[in-house]
Amino acid sequence: MMRLALFEEVLDSAPLTLPPAVHGIYLRQGEVTLDGVPLTPDAAVLAKGAARLAGTGEVWRFEVSDAAELTAPHEYARLVLAHPLARDPAMPFVLRLDRVDFPPEGATPKHGHAGPGIRRLLSGRLLAEVGAQAHRIDAGGAWFETGADPVIGRVMAPGSAFIRCMVLDAELLGRPTFRAWTEEDAAKPRSASYRLFFDTLTALDAA
C-alpha cells in the first residue's frame, strides 16, 4: 500500500527538511529554494528523499510514500488531503504534475483517467461531478479522483484552474490518461488547456 498526500507548506525564516518520500513541489508564491536552487512561482519540480526547502512563500507539496499512518501528528495542521493507493511500494511508478485551465463557462465531457490523483483548485470555482456525487470546489479546495469513476468538471466562475498530481503505472510515461466515458463523450470538445510541469518515472526506494 502507498499513500498520496497534499501538504500546504507556508515557509518563513525556518527551513524545512522533507521526509523520505517522492515529492512534487509546486511554488504557489514567494521566494523559495530547493536544496539551494531557486524555485519558479507557478511551476513545479520533482524532489526525492530528505530535500530541503528554504525561503519565504507558499509551497503545495504532493508526497508519495509507503507511510502506514495517515500522517504524523506534527503534520496535521499542514495536511490538505491524503488518500491510500492500492499499489506495491516496491514497484516503479510515474509521477505527473500539471496545471489545467478552463475557459469561462467551460465543461469537460464525462471521462475517467488511467490512474488516480489529487487536484487542488488554484482560482475560480468548479462543480465537480465524481461518480454519483457532486461537489462545489472553491479556490484552495482539493479532491481525489480514482480515475475509475466518471467525472464531469463544470466551470462556475471565470479564471478556474487547478494543479493536478497523478500516480501512474510505469507504461503510462509520456502517454495521455484521459478516457472519454462513451463514444458520444469522445466526440465532445475538450476546452481545457494543460501545462505539464514534469512526467517522471521514479520509485520509493530511490527516495
Residue 183 DSSP one-character state: H
Backbone angles phi, psi at 206, to 5 degrees: -95, -5
Query: What's the confidence (pLDDT) of residue 72?
Result: 67
- 194 pLDDT band, cuts 50/70/90, is very high
Share of the chain above pLDDT 90, in %: 85
If one compares 125 and 13, the residue with the highest pLDDT of the two is: 125
| Max CA separation in the chain (angstroms) | 53
Q: How far apart are CA 207 and CA 203, in angstroms?
A: 7
Instruction: Tell whether the model's pLDDT for residue 171 goes beyond 80.
Output: yes
State the average pLDDT over residues 105-121: 94
Tens-digit pLDDT profile for residues 81-92: 999 999 999 999
93-105 burial by CB neighbour count: b if 16+ within 10 A, else e? Answer: bbbbbbbbbbeee
Q: Which residues pair with 38 in a beta bridge?
A: 33
Domains delineated in the chain:
2-85 (2.60.120.10), 93-205 (2.60.120.10)
- 75 pLDDT band, cuts 50/70/90, is confident
Instruction: Tell whether the model's pLDDT for residue 170 goes beyond 70.
Output: yes
Query: What's the confidence (pLDDT) of residue 190?
Result: 87
Q: How far apart are CA 149 and CA 138, in angstroms?
A: 21
Query: What's the confidence (pLDDT) of residue 164?
Result: 98
State the average pLDDT over residues 13-26: 93
Tens-digit pLDDT profile for residues 126-154: 999 998 899 999 999 999 999 999 999 99
Which helix (H) or strand (E) covers residue 93, if one does?
A: strand 93-101
pTM of the model: 0.94
Query: What's the confidence (pLDDT) of residue 70?
Result: 61
